[in-house]
Structure 1
């Protein structure tokens, strides 16, 4: 399943779950600064890195695999 910009997601986070909306997808290496932390994800075709705005307004970067 290809995840696109605007897709609503829910994932496991610690002992709970987090939900949000995909703001951007990347099929290459991407580096973002989130809350003063530098985060790098290595996206690729078929397994893109995701930049997500969580339901509480915060942002995170994830990769499915």
Structure 2
């Protein structure tokens, strides 16, 4: 929300993921990981990282660098 990104938490159906502009998962050990292809389902969005993902990744990395 600090980045001006609206956050909505909801259950989603797997078959609706193919229509997403972008998908990512997060992990405490691996950070943010983009998903650009689904099997079956094909390419997510245009198969490229979205501006939203890049902004989140940058903010996440910055937070890790300044973590005390």
Larger helix fraction of residues: 2
Tell me, yes or no, whether TM beats 0.5: no
* TM-score between both structures, scaled by the size of structure 2: 0.24
* TM-score between both structures, scaled by the size of structure 1: 0.24
